[in-house]
Structure 1
Amino acid sequence: LPPELVLEVPLEHPTLEWFAALGLRWYALPAVSNMLLEIGGLEFPAAPFSGWYMSTEIGTRNLCDPHRYNILEDVAVCMDLDTRTTSSLWKDKAAVEINLAVLHSFQLAKVTIVDHHAATVSF
């Protein structure tokens, strides 16, 4: 897929100006192509699916997970949080700001996204 056809959202924060300098971005469309669609006993093994993101899927799972992008401590350090002890809740504070940056950036780019509070109301 040519890069110019992939819409990416540059991530910035509404109040933390340094956040944009991290150079983070995320693709706008979560497309999954390894789904199996079964209709009337017929199996379609290449049934693509797309939709929109919930902000925590990007902000918490993809960006903060230690086995993925693992930016949590870097952001906490930029926020001047005490990362020496977990009881300072630095991970929680940084994760909230990362998720806020994701929501803000997608809304700014006019790309559909839902926060986890709105998602719980819709189900």
Structure 2
Amino acid sequence: MMSLASYASDPASGRGRLYAEAPAPTRDDYQRDRDRIVHSTAFRRLVYKTQVFLNHEGDLFRTRLTHSLEVAQLARSIARALQLNEDLTEAIALAHDLGHTPFGHAGQDELNGCLRRIDPQARGSSTTFSR
């Protein structure tokens, strides 16, 4: 394995897990996270979500799954060039489309509007509410 840059996240010096689990003999925490994402139902469902549909490309269309896989490949290459943790970067890239609102950006804008009616200081997806 290539050495990490001084500013890269090292799994050996991380904060650990919220819930303790036995260490895996062949994978570090970031590799386990990546694998959990890939095998999750939410990630697998991305195959049913259209990313962009372009008629000029014939019957080919892109799904959020193919998009996420391409983003992960590019992110991993960039992480390698910058000496960052490739497994962490890949996990983040693979999960970046999980949890999107229905109807894409229009749905996100509508939900943000609903939040602002409840709390004028609401800032979209970074807003949290407690009871």
TM superposition score normalised by structure 1 = 0.29
Q: Which of structures 1 and 2 has the larger relative contact order (alpha carbons within 8 angstroms, sep 6+)?
A: 1
Higher normalized helix content (fraction of residues): 2
TM superposition score normalised by structure 2 = 0.28
Greater C-alpha Rg: 2
